[in-house]
Amino acid sequence: MDFHELEGFLALAENLHFARASTKVHLSPSALSRLLGRLEEELGIILFERDTRRVKLTEDGIAFLDFARDVVHKRDDMRLRIGVNDDQITGILRVYASVTACYSILPPFVEALNKTHPGLRLSVQTGDPADAADAVREGRAELALDALPPGGFKDLDCYSVRKTPLVFASSKTGIYNNLDLQGKPDQLQHIISTVPLILPKTGLARERIDRWTRINGIKPNIVAETAGNEAILALARLGLGLGLVPHLVLENGPFAEGLVLYHAGKDFGEYDIGFVQKPVISGTESIRKLRTAIAEIIRRTYPQHEPTTNKN
């Protein structure tokens, strides 16, 4: 058993898709399958149930997942060490962020990090923002960008860096390109109950619209549910209905073309987007130094908001 096999196992366990997992570890799907076959033979257990349609962890695979994450995390912890002569942090910093966050929020942080700690290399995983906090909790990332709930996450240190309203987006050439939502609560309730909606499966935006419809006694007309804001906008561009996304997704990016926007209204509130990491005071000495350095860079780079820090 080696780290290459463990990384291949973790890639498939986290993606449950051979093509995506093999890309993560720079192998072909067939090579990844052979690598995992060798690992299963060495362990004497079956880690995955797999056929032409799906990949699923077995009970033994779920048990092995904690071990594999722990071993790889400890290896990365060893790499995140303080240099003997220059007091610089070196190693790999694993970051989880959505595609939108990568082009809209992350660049100033990366620039500041490169200047302050040039020996620290980034490994960025992109995915659904709804999975960001769990990526940190589970050790898949040391740092993530997420939509913060009011007061932040109780078990994580949170650093708010940007606020943005929620908006509905629809195709400019579709049949929902001329709706009147401004200042008319009754009209908003009527539209949400009749116009097809494209919603995220999970996350803060979904929680808010579910709560709003429940309070107002409305049964929404949901035509599609998907993971990731970019997928929601792609379906909205096809004219399927109204997609609910943070306005930030449409700022300075490639997704706004061909769309008309409607503000969701004050009842839906703003998205408070920020960095999350495990508490600075937790972990080994090298991890604590890393988290302290990250917190300082975030404070200098995004000074407009105060951090919500876990004191426990």
Give the pLDDT confidence score for residue 146 in this predicted structure: 92
Distance in angstroms (rounded) separating the CA atoms of residues 156 and 311: 9
Least trusted range by pLDDT, from 146-160, 182-196, 285-299: 182-196
Share of the chain above pLDDT 70, in %: 90
User: 82 falls in which pLDDT band (50, 70, 90)?
Assistant: very low
Instruction: State the pairing for strand pair 222-226/197-200.
Output: parallel
Confidence band (pLDDT; 50, 70, 90) for 157? very high
Residue indicated by tokens 């620039």:
111
> Which CATH number applies to 3-77?
1.10.10.10
What pLDDT, in 10s, does the model give residues 55-68?
Answer: 899 999 899 998 98
Q: What is the pLDDT of residues 91-140, one digit of tens each?
A: 788 899 988 888 889 999 999 999 988 888 888 988 888 889 988 887 77
Which range is least confidently modeled, 27-31, 110-114, 199-203, 290-294? 27-31
Q: Is the pTM of this model over 0.85?
A: no
Taking CA 270 as the corner, what is the angle to CA 279 and CA 106, rounded to the nearest 5 degrees?
50
Match domain 83-160+272-308 to its CATH number in 3.20.10.10, 3.40.50.10490, 3.90.640.10, 3.40.190.10.
Answer: 3.40.190.10
pLDDT at 309: 56
Query: What CATH number does domain 163-270 carry, 3.40.190.10, 3.30.70.120, 3.30.450.40, 3.30.565.10?
Result: 3.40.190.10
